[in-house]
Structure 1
Amino acid sequence: MLEFEYSNTLKRLPEQFFAKLVKTTQALKKEGHDVINLGQGNPDLPTPNFIVEALQEASQHEAFHKYSPFQGYPFLKEAVANFYKSEYEVDVDPKTEVAILFGSKTGLVEISQCLLNPQEKVLVPDPGYPDYMSGIALADAEPIHMPLKKENQFLPDYQNISDEDLAEAKLMFLNYPNNPTAATATKDFFDQTIEVAQENHICVVHDFAYGAIGFENEKPQSFLQSEGAKDVGIEMYTLSKSFNMAGWRVAFAVGNPSVIKALELIQDHYYVSIFGAIQSAAKTALDQGHDAIVELNNTYQERRDAFLQQAEKIGWHGGTANGSFFVWMPTPTGYTSESFANLLLEKAHVVVAPGNGFGTSGEGYVRIGLLDEPERLREACDRIEKLSLF
């Protein structure tokens, strides 16, 4: 059988860091071990019934059995605009400032291909969502890493980026509430970001995947709530996290019309939009889902509190958990992120994600997913306590 060599584009793609962790976890489960998996980023709760029922009803419409409009149905774009007005008091033009996406992962990869030429520079958070790097690799662009440090509340420090890099960067990725650090951003930070972007002609892409998940009644800040945000960039929002619709693959980008047009152009060549019934159900989620978001937030806050309280009891201090469904925890003295994660997996059968998998600045931390019931989160801490690490 002939074997064909990959293109240079595929060869540039970064290695999937967590593939080995997934395989080891699966092997332990096959051996019959009770594994508590806190290393994933996949919501564990079902999609709310009212959204599922909306899909069931919409799937009967014969019009949705045909090709959808390439750029999405106007009714979904209008629902997006209404959602941003009701949730964030932001005015959005559904005709020119909304692009429908096959999940935000797709948009976050595509945007680099839309705006970057080979060897051009892009500012990327470190640690950060790994697929930012995938899109950058496909575009053959050059990443400039912005370290996220605890002393700066896990926000980029623009003063520490050289004038040359700022002048040459064409794109900047941000993500708050943050994966993996669980930090949140303030309006002042976004205001500062807009100023930097305007001065240096940088397009800002704010990944707002966890925008619905904030604690202590602190609603996460939308980038578009800052004046001038649409002049310099876009925000990407997914229904995967807000409504437990990860498998539905529906999201959207909102903001600068030229960037929205670029995303729609590339998708015209890749796809024929999302199944119309899913778009109809997504409209229902956005129109009627406020109470579901509140309930989901309460669930994650209960889980976060259960984990952090039990972690404190065993002497594991210093976690960050302001938003998202993650907790960013420091590793104990004498352990790297990877060696600590491997120890927990092998000896406690608890899966966590090593921080260095998200970038070099993630070393010294592990990411905990609040994706199990409170009693299981407490049990994970109890298992870790038996290792006498703290």
Structure 2
Amino acid sequence: MKGFSEKIETVQEYYFSAKLREVNQMIADGKPIINLGIGSPDLAPDKKVIEALKNTADNPQAHGYQSYQGIPELRIAFADFYARAYGVNLQPDKEILPLMGSKEGIMHISMTFLNPGDEVLIPNPGYPTYTSVTNLLQAKPVFYSLDLNQKGRPDFESIERRDLSKVKLMWINYPHMPTGAQGSTEILEELVAFAKRHQIVLLHDNPYSHILTEKPQSILSINGAEEVALELNSLSKTFNMPGWRVGMLAGRADWLQKILKVKSNMDSGMFLGLQKGAIAALGLGKSWFEDLDELYQNRRKLVWKLADKLNLTYAQDAAGLFVWCKVPEGKTAEEIVDSLLYEKYIFVTPGKIFGTEGENYIRFSLCMPEFKILEAIKRI
């Protein structure tokens, strides 16, 4: 045995992978854990989605390898969804690439564009996978700040002061995870202009656009974005299908062809039943989103009460599946997180796992029934 790749030393095990082992052991030991940490929807998909999966699984011809690009009906369903939801017209056969979850896409995109030594702009705080994938590919993460008082506007002034000659990619994410900053048309326009000015590829990770938002938005709706931007989207949060691993990538046909070269060497296509279920989900009407919105609004109000009991502060105009809370002066997030877990058996996420600017924050998930959140309030 001659040892492992040096690349493995550049990343840590994903926080939830390690922490949930501890939490699950506490549950096995009889502790009544309430999990307000991870953002995995606890609700079922629509019945039409389940039926589509079942009906396909009953077909003996449905279990073979599938196309790396997904069946044409799935790409058409994604295109129709983008036209209805965002006012964006995409060519199903050229500008849409279905993925086995958008997390997969983060790796495939990065492998397509990055060489060792290239630089990647990553929001701080932000999704840890952007950083870990960048490190695995021996590129360099370059972190930028967001102004939460301006809907999560990047600190363009600070970014522009640095040398950007080696920056190839920029990750953006609105509504932003973990803070819930909604972004705006003006911010997306600034980002497109910035990317053009510096010849940077914008990568918009967009899984939360239908969760507690005023108006779902795609960066591809911005004039000129089709030249510089790609967008990841996912059915995990919007349609309660995280374990199905169905996502998509949209944007320039020539870029998607390059990414497909990587993807086709990494997987063998998505099970047909999952694709048929995804088509059913993408065709759901307006009432699906209205019902989901009402449910999450009710849960969020209860989480706000929980945060109030802990003297935490938060923004009420945030979107997405989480409540991002600042800890009071004189306390640390780590103290509160540990106290909640080991004394009250409530699991929440420390903000520091999302970057240095999350150090004094805690994130609560809305993926828990109201009676469980009420129980957490009682324990406090």
The TM tier, using the shorter chain, reads over 0.9
Structure 1 residue 202, shift from structure 2 partner: 0.6
Q: 1:195 aligns with which of 177, 182, 193?
A: 193
Distance 1:7 1:364 in 2: 34
Measured after TM superposition, the shift of residue 70 of structure 1 is 2.1
CA–CA separation in structure 2 for the residues paired with 1:23 and 1:336: 24
Alignment of 1:209-224 (within 5 A): 209-215=207-213, 218-224=214-220
Superposition RMSD in Å: 1.9
Which residue of structure 1 lines up, in the alignment, with residue 287 of structure 2?
291
Query: Quick one: distance in 1 between partners of 2:153 and 2:20?
Result: 29
- Which blocks of at least 5 consecutive residues in structure 1 are unaligned? 385-390
Q: Indicate conservation of the 8 Å contact 1:128/1:359, yes or no.
A: yes
State the distance in 1 between where 2:56 and 2:25 align.
40
Q: Please tell me the residue identity of whatever aligns with 2:224.
A: G
1:139 to 2:140 alignment: no
TM-score where L is the length of structure 2: 0.94
Q: Aligned residues, how many?
A: 380
Among all aligned residue pairs of Structure 1 and Structure 2, give the percentage whose two residues are the same amino acid. Answer: 34
- Paired position in structure 2 for 1:205: 203
Query: Which segment is superposed worse, 48-57 or 303-312?
Result: 303-312
After the TM superposition, which residues 314-353 of structure 1 pair with which residues of structure 2 at under 5 Å, given as runs? 315-319=311-315, 322-353=318-349
Alignment partner, residue 59 of structure 1: 57
| Per-residue deviation, 1:378 | 3.2
Deviation for aligned residue 1:20 = 4.6
* TM score, norm. by length of structure 1: 0.92
**Distance in structure 2 (CA, Å) of the matches to 1:261 and 1:165:** 30
Go from structure 1 to structure 2 and tell me whether the alpha carbon gap of 1:120 and 1:11 turns closer, same or farther (over 3 Å shift).
Answer: same
Mean alpha-carbon deviation: is it higher for 31-40 or for 151-160? 151-160
Alpha-carbon separation, structure 2, partners of 1:261 and 1:159: 34
Deviation of the 1:314 alpha carbon: 6.0
SS in 2 for 1:241: coil
Residues 209-228 of structure 1: CA distance to partner in whole angstroms, max 9, x if unpaired?
1121124xx12322112111
Q: Name segments (4+ residues, structure 1) moved above 4 Å.
A: none
The alignment partner of 1:288 has SS state of coil
The one-letter code of the counterpart of 1:294 is E
Residue range with higher mean Cα deviation, 27-36 or 3-12: 3-12
Q: Is the 8 A contact 2:120 2:140 kept in 1?
A: yes
Measure the CA separation in 1 of the matches of 2:87 and 2:375. Answer: 41
Task: For 1:140, give the aligned amino acid.
Answer: Q
C-alpha distance 335-52 of structure 1, shift in aligned 2 (>3 A): same
**Matching residue's letter, 1:346:** Y
**Cα separation, 2, equivalents of 1:114 and 1:320:** 39
Distance 1:380 1:251 in 2: 33
Deviations 1:147-196 (Å, cap 9, x if unpaired)? Answer: 23434433311111144443331101011112111111101100000000
Tell me by how many angstroms 1:289 deviates: 4.8
CA contact (8 A) 1:182 1:320 kept: no
| Deviation readout 1:82-136 (Å, 9 max, x if unpaired) | 1101111111011111011110011012211110100101100111111111221
- Look up the SS of the partner of 1:339 in the other structure: helix
Deviations 1:299-318 (A, max 9, x none): 11111122214534664333
- The match for 2:230 is 234
SS at match of 2:293: helix
Structure 2: unaligned runs, 5 residues or longer: none
Give the equivalent residue in structure 2 for 1:360: 356
CA–CA separation in structure 1 for the residues paired with 2:72 and 2:333: 46
